[in-house]
A and B are shown apart, each in its own frame.
Chain A
Amino acid sequence: MSPKNGSDDKPLELYVPEPEFRPGDKPDFSNVTIPQAGEGERPPIDVPADDIRKLAYTIIRVMNRNGEAVGPWAGELSDERVKEGLEDMMRVRAFDARMQMAQRQGKTSFYMQCLGEEAIACAFSKALRPGDMNFPTYRQQGLLLSSDYPLVDMINQIYSNSADPLNGRQLPIMYTSKEHGFFTISGNLATQFIQGVGWAMASAIKGDTKIAASWIGDGSTAESDFHSALVFASTYRAPVVLNIVNNQWAISTYQGIARGKAATFASRALGFGIPALRVDGNDYLAVYAVSKWAADRARAGHGPTLIEHVTYRAGAHSTSDDPSAYRPKEESDAWPLGDPVERLKNYLIARGAWSEAQHVQAREMLEAQVAEAQKQAEKNGTLHDGPHSSPREMFEDVFAETPLHLRRQRQEAGV
């Protein structure tokens, strides 16, 4: 192309990042550097961000290929607690499979599974205490499913049925539970990230000891609210853990569009002076250890931490999405961090604390638990067959007190 301005300058070109593999390609991640388990220091919780810059670029891992926990981040959890963690993840997987199917059967409009990402929310939840608050996005069902939140209530919400705790007002999976430290999911992206910072600031203003955890996906780190959150968290040293779940894909858009090829998501925090740790999100033990470190740090008054959980979205974005249109089918299996359930199972087996038979038994037990909860929930109805809450509920709770114009509209609607 000849220069348009007649000079010798080379014409500029717009760079648009592209993923390495598209449908039909054979995915090969052998060029992706995966650090050895056990590498990466474990700094004291009051460390300045600048002293641990490396941790924003590596991947902290605990479990090695032999199923052993190694390095400075290992040794945090007893076998009993790890078994609970494994069952939590298996419960999430069983729940997702069942609800995915329920959507296909027409019992609800929509579902989002977190296949392959179960370790992140399940392990993180164990680093928090009662009274702390998550500001989740839509793939953190593991926070609730690893707590004592009733499965039946989750399904009632997904079905928008007559026992839906949200009265049929919110999309399936947009749960709410203050009691379980789970802020109401918006359905917008990134707005909750700064809200969590505000909640944490409030705890500090009141002189309380509670901390917050904000959640965001790789794609929506591009939103302004991500940067708002980092500014406020940094300025006021808010007691908050800022979690990025990097599952490589934002619907069909690969992570390079939000990130460029310049840096890691974790390193975004360094310019704000916020310590940043990149962790193997498919390694339950590593996620727990790093989350606990960040939660301890927040609680001790040292301020915010940003964690990038590196994982892979093994399923579709939602029931409305078909990933075979934009990425190779084999990509999930080729992804080098493996499956979080399999890895934790192998760890427990290597320790002699678990067996294949126990694993099968646990899976069957959890599947039965979910099926039973589903049966109970269906007594309260499903989205398409009802019953639902009264249409009168539509007009309630827009405000604490329903104003005249809404009362008139309700009368007009005859409900």
Chain B
Amino acid sequence: MARMTMIQAVRSAMDVSMGRDDNVVVYGEDVGFFGGVFRCTEGLQKKYGANRCFDSPINESGIIGSAIGMAAYGLRPCVEIQFADYMYPGYDQITQEAARIRYRSNNDFTVPMVVRMPTGGGIFGGQTHSQSPEALFAHVAGIKTVIPSNPYDAKGLLIASIEDDDPVMFLEPKRLYNGPFDGHHDRPIMPWSKHDAGEVPEDYYTVPIGKAAVRREGEEVTVLAYGTMVYVAETAAKETGVDAEIIDLRTILPLDLETIEASVRKTGRCVIVHEATKTCGFGAELMAVVMEGCFDHLEAEVIRVTGYDTPYPHAHEWDYFPGPARVGAALKKVMENA
């Protein structure tokens, strides 16, 4: 077993998939010769040839629109959008085309396509390199949205996404590319080589789409988190001493309703954490899921800890970011009447 960063794990997933299936092609901006601005596709062009891994014009609608055509042909394109913030020109192709082609054609055409995109903040990327647009995908019928929180899951989920017969939005939390980030931005960075989840098999394996993982079992409060926020929540639980059950959703659509419901029914409390803006963020959906499925079991208000409803501010990044102090305060608040 090797130790990998999330970048290496994502690359390994594409490498394994391209090796197993000639129909897998990889392209995007700077993806070919150079290997991507985050280096996720480094070496793939050399290994598989320029007709299976290549640079694209700076045109997200073109990248995704052409990938839809390729997928309809029978390929399995895995395209990169350089930052999630850049996906909007391709959003029409994602939501009105990729999402509905199976449905509207009654299975005559399908779109087995993966759109990879680095998401989230924490790298001083400012408002156009820090966004978390997952709710914009989850709101649309017909696409799956996956957000891994560690290298092992990233590889297994990406292979599963490439093999999936429906379009998958694969959001890679860029702050986690090189190490698990606990939200304490002023402390030394922990690399994946020192974390268990950095252990990644070099060969083929999958992690199922639509299944959450319980990162920490606990009795007092359920924390629903994904991506970067998983480690922030773990840290907050440690620092407050609250016996939290931390659920890493891994896939936000389809959502693992059963795991969420079982946990909240057990703990009777729930804190929801994400980095994206609050209003109509995915946390609103999670709160509704908890209300619909667990209302009779709740012993405290459900609280969301999220990014604020502002653009991602450059200089004030760490005031915006929902770090362990804010998550910890929420944990204490739901425990007040315990």
Contacts and interface: CB of A to CB of B under 8 A. Distances in A.
B166 A231 contact: no
Nearest to A197: B66
A403 to B, nearest CB: 3
B219 to A, nearest CB: 26
B303 to A, nearest CB: 23
B166 A399 contact: yes
Interface stretch (A47-55, A64-72, A175-183, A330-338): A175-183
Most A Cβ at <10 Å: residue of B51, B65, B70, B253: B65
Contacts of A133: 72-73
Contact of B101 (A165, A184, A206, A404): A184
Interface in A159-176: 165-167, 169-170, 174, 176
B16 interface: no
Interface stretch (A27-35, A187-195, A314-322, A339-347): A187-195
Contact of B254 (A197, A203, A405): A405
B38 interface: no
B104 interface: yes
A360 interface: no
A191 B92 contact: yes
Interface stretch (A143-151, A222-230, A303-311): A222-230
B108 interface: yes
Contacts of B255: 404-405
Contact of B73 (A167, A203, A224, A397): A203
B144 to A, nearest CB: 7
A386 to B, nearest CB: 19
B288 to A, nearest CB: 11
B59 A199 contact: no
Interface residues on A, range: 35 or more
Contacts of B72: 133, 183, 195, 198-199
B337 to A, nearest CB: 31
B62 A404 contact: no
A205 B77 CA distance: 11
B71 to A, nearest CB: 8
B103 A201 contact: no
A205 B69 contact: no
B96 interface: yes
Given A186-B96, A191-B97, A194-B62, A201 B69 contact: yes
A232 B108 contact: no
Contacts of B89: 224
Interface string B26-53: 0000000000000000000000000110
Given A198-B65, A199-B73, A398-B142, A174 B104 contact: yes
B57 interface: yes
B126 interface: no
Given A166-B104, A176-B105, A176-B106, A199 B70 contact: yes
B110 interface: yes
Given A199-B72, A200-B69, A205-B25, A184 B104 contact: yes
A399 B110 CA distance: 9
Contact of B75 (A165, A166, A202): A202
Given A188-B97, A191-B96, A205-B52, A198 B69 contact: yes
Interface string B86-115: 000100110011000111111111100000
Nearest to A214: B69
A166 B106 contact: yes
Contact of A397 (B67, B107, B144, B253): B107
Interface string A102-131: 000000000000000000000000000000
B105 A197 contact: no
B104 A228 contact: no
A274 to B, nearest CB: 14
Interface of A: 133, 135, 165-167, 169-170, 174, 176-178, 183-184, 186, 188, 191, 194-206, 212, 224-225, 228-229, 231-232, 235, 397-400, 403-405, 408
Sorted nearest first, the 3 A-B pairs with minimum C-beta distance are A198-B69, A198-B66, A403-B254
Interface of B: 25, 51-52, 56-57, 59, 61-62, 65-70, 72-75, 77, 89, 92-93, 96-97, 101-110, 141-142, 144, 164-166, 210, 253-255, 257-258
7 contacts: A133-B73, A170-B104, A178-B108, A201-B70, A228-B62, A232-B66, A408-B257
Given A199-B70, A205-B75, A224-B61, 4 more contacts: A186-B104, A197-B69, A400-B102, A404-B255
